[in-house]
Amino acid sequence: MGLSPNKLEGFYNQRATCENLIAQGKGQVGWAGMLTQHFWTNDALFQLGLLAYNLLVWFKRRFLPQGEQGKEVETLRSWFIHTAGQIIHTSRQWFLDLGADYPWKET
């Protein structure tokens, strides 16, 4: 290839980043296989998954602290979606009671 060691390392780091993004998409976003037998339906589903992933990346960059932006999809899903809580109805009002250790309870 004829590259210096520093350029060679930079080349493979870019490749590793791309491979990590593909692995994350396949394992955590659902790009692993064809969901239907129709090409255009699969294309639309893939495009929706890609849009969801891009929105998640935007959310991480916009709203999470700098140290938390490297979290994976599954971690964020467990933080924001798979959160134990209780829906309570009292005095003609509905409340969502989250656990005491939920980090974003006040927001």
Higher pLDDT, 18 or 46: 46
Q: Could you tell me if residue 16 is inside a domain?
A: yes
Q: Are 30 and 74 a contacting pair, CB within 8 Å? A: no
Domain count, the chain: 1
pLDDT band at 106 (very low <50, low <70, confident <90, very high): low
- Report residue 13 as tokens: 């780091």
If one counts every other C-beta atom within 10 angstroms of the C-beta of residue 71, the result is 14
Q: Could you tell me if residue 26 is inside a domain?
A: yes
Q: Could you tell me if residue 87 is inside a domain?
A: no
If one counts every other C-beta atom within 10 angstroms of the C-beta of residue 46, the result is 16
DSSP secondary structure letter of residue 75 = H
pLDDT in tens, 33-66: 767 888 898 888 888 888 888 888 888 888 888 8
Q: Could you tell me if residue 106 is inside a domain?
A: no
Q: Could you tell me if residue 47 is inside a domain?
A: yes
Q: Could you tell me if residue 97 is inside a domain?
A: no
Q: Could you tell me if residue 100 is inside a domain?
A: no
Across the range 86-105, mean pLDDT stands at 80
Q: Could you tell me if residue 101 is inside a domain?
A: no
Q: Is the pLDDT of residue 103 over 70?
A: no
Q: What's residue 7's pLDDT?
A: 80
If one counts every other C-beta atom within 10 angstroms of the C-beta of residue 6, the result is 8
Q: Is the pLDDT of residue 88 over 60?
A: yes
State the residue range of the domain holding 56: 5-82
Q: Is the pLDDT of residue 92 over 80?
A: yes
**Amino acid (one-letter) located at 7:** K
